Amino acid sequence: MGFDVDSTTDEVVAGIDLSGRTVVVTGATSGLGKETARALASVGADVVLCGRDDAKGQAAADEIQGATRYQHLDLADLAGLRTAADELLASIERLDVLVNNAGVMACPLGRTADGFELQFGTNHLGHFLLTARLVPLLMASVPARIVNLSSQGHLIAGVDLADPNYEHRDYDKWEAYGQAKTANVLFTRELERRFGDHGLRAYAVHPGMVMTELGRHLDRSDLEGITQKAGNLPSTGPSRRMKQVDTGASTQVWAATADDIPGGAYLADVAVCDQLAGHARDDEAAARLWALSEELVGEPFPSWPGAH
């Protein structure tokens, strides 16, 4: 069945049976993450909803039909993240899909518990460390996949590998957002290069413009800025009209379930999308970002026999 910009999550999973599969979704207490968890649980998956707000997380797990549970996870605190990852590994026997959905967008300059710029630290470094901790179980469960939420916002900026945390340059919240979303794409490319041939595939997703809690830091001038930036983007490519949550989450649900998507692909509107900036296609930058990320989080990403 062909899908398009108007396809919903329920349409994407129609006829699919995920019984016996385990999925972990970050940022699953609301918005796109919660809808992704709901859709996958509706067709039999055991879904672990990860988030920072325990009350909202437990409420979401209780609300969603099917086998779901909540796991506290704060991507902006590496020590706590390590504890959460250990708890996850102790509680599940397999992991078929990791959906790195959580994120922050265009927030004022802030720092994570470890001193990283908040958007880069949360959207990329937190997910980098979480994935590193979970990749042995993903590899033990192959065929498996990792879905990283990026954005068309990656077109705004590449990753400044010399100063990713804005310690020596003026902070611009949209530039920082673009950097973090480019990091998500580069991480996807390097994951695919290292693990794709061994049954662990990786995908980067642009969900489209969806008004969720991701935009909680935005005011009227920010919304006008989004419109202006959208006007400066290429006229072709992903739809710019506002989506509902069920159509916004459909691409990541498709990435988590479809069998015929090329590994390492960038996806939008439930299709492979070729509107990818040159700085997000740079495999040398992807390798350098990987090495820098290992240095910043303070531990190596697990290697695998035969991995490139």
Digit-coded pLDDT (tens) for 112-166 = 999 999 999 999 999 999 999 999 999 999 999 999 999 999 999 999 999 999 9
pLDDT digits (tens, 9 = 90+) for 82-116: 999 999 999 999 999 999 999 999 999 999 999 99
The confidence score (pLDDT) of residue 231 equals: 47
Banded pLDDT at 230 (limits 50, 70, 90): very low
pLDDT digits (tens, 9 = 90+) for 13-51: 999 999 999 999 999 999 999 999 999 999 999 999 999
pLDDT digits (tens, 9 = 90+) for 49-64: 999 999 999 999 999 9
CATH fold for domain 9-297 = Rossmann fold (3.40.50)
The confidence score (pLDDT) of residue 235 equals: 47
Average pLDDT over residues 264-270: 96
- Residues marked active site are found at 177
Banded pLDDT at 225 (limits 50, 70, 90): low
Mean pLDDT computed over every residue of the chain: 91
The confidence score (pLDDT) of residue 212 equals: 53
Strands 266-268 and 271-272: what pairing?
antiparallel
Residue 258, pLDDT above cutoff 70: yes
Report the share of the chain in percent with pLDDT over 90: 84
The confidence score (pLDDT) of residue 67 equals: 81
Per domain, the residue ranges of the chain are: 9-297
Residue 308, pLDDT above cutoff 80: no
- Asked if 252 contacts 171 with a C-beta cutoff of 8 angstroms, the reply is no
Beta-sheet strand order (sheet of 46-51): 68-72, 46-51, 22-26, 97-100, 144-149, 200-206, 266-268, 271-272
The confidence score (pLDDT) of residue 280 equals: 97
The confidence score (pLDDT) of residue 65 equals: 78
